[in-house]
Structure 1
Amino acid sequence: MVRAKNARFSFTCFLAVLIAVMFVITVVLSFKLLTIDQCNCPSLVPELRPSSKPSLKLISTKHRLAVLVPYRERFEELLEFVPYMHRFLNNQQVYHNIFILNQVDTYRFNRASLINIGFLQVKSDFDYVAMHDVDLLPLNENLSYAYPKQPVHLAAPELHPKYHYSKFIGGILLINREHFQLVNGLSNRYWGWGLEDDEFYVRLKDAQLNVTRPENITTGVNNTFRHVHGKDRKRDTTKCYNQREVTRKRDRQTGLHDVRYNVLGYKSLEIDGAPATVINIQLICNHTATPWCDCSPQKSGKV
């Protein structure tokens, strides 16, 4: 009788231990399965990866650069720009991604609004941006794309092949996230070509930011940059309605906080081994505030 009781007690202990072990194994396996991403569900936001894997030579991965490229229908220039800049930035060991801000609506081109939108899309993953024209390639390796404590205008007037006035800050400008937010980005009033960077210069000065430019550059206007812009490409310099009057003034109403748009999609592409992300952007025009977003004769009557 005693032996039977002991046998039953031993079997019960063994069963309890077995159940406990199975429970622990089940919990461990479940945790491992939960930590493995097996979902192939599409994401509305692209995965933001560095354009190059950090190497042992990389000085620091602390700062991440987003190259913001306002774009529309310049495919040949894009084919040259992406691999060239990817190599250039890799040579400087700059942790970077290239974003092509592709305007897909029928309104006039708005470089400033595209940059505002690009910044909003990447600001959580990158701590500084390069506002970069697609048709301007740096030739001098001493033009540094390193993190800027103050805004850095790389395409300085004494170096740019075309524009030489002292307040010019177009072409290529580096600015950190905090300073871009401080000045509320760029004005959204500039549809068509020109003047948006001049207005941005005033914003930087009003915020008491010091725009710096490259020093000790031995090249000049003919060999510091390559300007890919073809002579046959016409700039949209049309002025209609009261555009000329309004866009000559400092804009204190519009900027990063009120740019209106829809993102229609993200596309990853690779050109000669160089990765980039295309963001298809549909701008929304406030026709009351800026009717010159469309200067077609049938709409404005003032072209």
Structure 2
Amino acid sequence: MPVAASALSWLAVAGRSSSSAMTRLMLGRTLERICKGVLLLCLLHFLIMMILYFDVYSQRFDLFSRFNNGRNGSRNNVSGAAGNGHHFYYYNLSRPNATLASYAATGEQVVPSSQPETNQTPSPKPLPPCPENPPGLVGRLLIEFSSQMTMERVQKENPNVTEGGRYTPPDCQPRWKVAIIIPFRHRENHLKYWLHYLHPILRRQRIDYGIYIINQLGEDTFNRAKLLNVGYTEALKEAEYDCFIFSDVDLIPMDDRNLYHCYDQPRHFAIAMDKFGFRLPYAGYFGGVSGLSKKQFLKINGFPNEYWGWGGEDDDIYNRITLNGMKVSRPDVRLGRYRMIKHERDKHNEPNPQRFNKIQNTKNTMKKDGISSLTYRVVQVKRYPLYTNISVEIGKPPPRPFKG
């Protein structure tokens, strides 16, 4: 038994000695790894310091060489080229990120290059044409006039519209540059609703447009067609428009797929008003909202100037279109639906008793009565955030012939 106990005691001591040796071995290996890591870090630090040292040394060497070159150049300039009026310049291309502009900013002299520097700024890529059928359209719209509308609210709703009621799509090249012209007098409340609905519609349609309110000053008889001629003329002073849409301020489209741009033929947009039971009242109707390209407008000599009071001018325009070999184009009746803001007939806009006689004589009058004979006086042009207001005097109607 004593021998066995002694043997066990020896084994225990040997086990502890072996465990202690293993621990020292692992500790030694760990310390060895740490030392190697520290050594590598020191070596890396040394290499970085050497690189920085030589970089600074080279720059200092460059500085002295430029100073000496400058002095030598000055001597050469004085001794050899002063009489010729030439100067010797230097331009150190070894400096990192050195450019012609950076040297000019510090007052350093620069060697004129034998080849002119090219502008390194990449030119912006041309925008793609706007799609014929814009993808963001909603379709049928809910139009109502019961909620309170303010100009401040409309302005907040349309932050991308610039002063004067101008907008152009930022991501595509519009196919038309459109001036939207509204004949106007004493319809401020209607205008708020028109702007509230039309600005978002036009933006979704990806149209480059400007909105022009042509305000007839005074209380003489209203002349819608003459105001439209004024709008055409004044809008062209603002921009090179090639499409003109003429809209009453109380008509709101009920579908944004009724695209407000010009077509191959003169366009009649408002073909189904709630006022007429969403039907075209008669085949030759061209009222409410219409559009003509600049070429089409000039071909018919614009609109008549001598329709004072309500009615007749739309039929005269329709006659001008057909007499000049064009046809009126219209959208599908489901797209050309409009709501009219209900209102009483304006004062000094009573039905024109001469309208029927004038309509019958369009062929004889259209060449001398139109954009070519337009006279008016601009009193004020004011650009608001959502539209441009042009206040004009357009004269008075001629005295009516005495009956009896």
Which structure has the greater CA radius of gyration? 2
Q: CA deviation at 1:55?
A: 2.4
CA distance in 2, matches of 1:232, 1:195: 16
Q: CA deviation at 1:125?
A: 1.4
Q: CA deviation at 1:148?
A: 1.3
Question: Match for residue 361 of structure 2?
Answer: 249
1:25-174 matched pairs, under 5 angstroms: 51-56=166-171, 58=172, 60-123=173-236, 125-156=240-271, 158-159=272-273, 161-162=275-276, 164-174=281-291
Q: Secondary structure at the match of 2:322?
A: helix
CA distance in 2, matches of 1:85, 1:150: 23
Question: Could you report, residue by residue, the CA deviation over 1:152-204 in whole angstroms, capped at 9, with x for unpaired residues?
Answer: 10111x44533612211010001111000000011111011111011110000
Q: Secondary structure at the match of 2:373?
A: coil
1:218 is the counterpart of 2:334: yes
Q: CA deviation at 1:147?
A: 2.7
1:291 is the counterpart of 2:399: yes
Q: CA deviation at 1:106?
A: 3.7
Contact 1:82 1:98 in 2 (8 A): no
Q: Which shows bigger deviation, 88-97 or 115-124?
A: 115-124
Contact 1:69 1:133 in 2 (8 A): yes
CA distance in 2, matches of 1:231, 1:6: 92
5+ residue gaps, structure 2, are 1-74, 89-103, 111-161
CA distance in 1, matches of 2:177, 2:76: 69
Q: CA deviation at 1:238?
A: 4.9
Which stretches of structure 1, 4 residues or more, deviate above 6 A after TM superposition?
47-50
Question: Could you report, residue by residue, the CA deviation over 1:197-243 in whole angstroms, capped at 9, with x for unpaired residues?
Answer: 1111000000011101112x4368xxx21101314756722557x67
Q: CA deviation at 1:280?
A: 1.1
Contact 1:105 1:283 in 2 (8 A): no
Equivalent pairs counted in the alignment come to 253
Question: Match for residue 392 of structure 2?
Answer: 281
Q: CA deviation at 1:108?
A: 1.1
Amino acid at match of 1:267: K
Contact 1:193 1:235 in 2 (8 A): no
Question: Match for residue 325 of structure 2?
Answer: 208
Q: 1:234 to 1:178 in 2, by over 3 A?
A: same
Q: 1:50 to 1:10 in 2, by over 3 A?
A: farther
The structure with more helix, counted as a fraction of residues: 2
Question: Could you report, residue by residue, the CA deviation over 1:69-116 in whole angstroms, capped at 9, with x for unpaired residues?
Answer: 000110101111123211111111111111001111342111111111
> TM (normalized to structure 2)?
0.55
> Relative contact order (C-alpha < 8 Å, sep 6+): which is higher?
1
Question: Match for residue 178 of structure 1?
Answer: 295
The structure with more strand, counted as a fraction of residues: 1
Question: Match for residue 31 of structure 1?
Answer: none
Q: 1:264 to 1:63 in 2, by over 3 A?
A: same
Contact 2:77 2:86 in 1 (8 A): no
> TM (normalized to structure 1)?
0.72
Question: Match for residue 314 of structure 2?
Answer: 197
CA distance in 2, matches of 1:77, 1:202: 30
